[in-house]
Amino acid sequence: MISIRRATEDDYTLIRDFYYELIDAMEDYQYKPGWKKDIYPSREMLTSAIAAGEMYVGFEAGRCAACMIANHAYNEAYEKIKWSVEAKGDEVFVIHALGVGTDYAGRGFAKEMARYVIALAKAQGAKTVRLDVLQGNLPAERAYESVGFKPLETISMYYADTGWTYFKAFEYII
């Protein structure tokens, strides 16, 4: 069972180390998110998300099992996507950098983290939750679809860690 809470400034080192370990562990995986240490997620991204109350940490038995950012920010390419529902600003939640530690893979923790954001979005009156997945990351795609996210289109987007590449956009309508 995972316990999810908002991160505090005291969690920075824990979160940074979590992502470092995840990136190292996924080096040889068939499906990897394309993340790179200190590029995505960057130190600034993590510290900003923590300070803004947008970083969430999932624990099991006192150990960090998962991390993510949930906020209203999105890649500019999202403007080109034909979303199912019109929504602006605080009507949209976006999930970023959702990662589950390799020791916890396959136990539904990514789904629980996504459900947490859906509940948060509902409580705040949002219309939708959106995200993008590096094309071909089938485990992530399956996890989001099993929670109720609908795949939309695959588009080229630029991120510092991947450069220009294709991502599949997903949407959960509240």
| pLDDT tens readout for residues 15-70 | 999 999 999 998 877 766 778 999 999 999 999 999 999 999 999 999 999 999 99
Q: How many CB atoms lie within 10 A of CB 15?
A: 23
pTM of the model: 0.95
Q: Residue 168 pLDDT more than 90?
A: yes
- Provide the pLDDT for residue 136: 87
Q: How many CB atoms lie within 10 A of CB 47?
A: 15
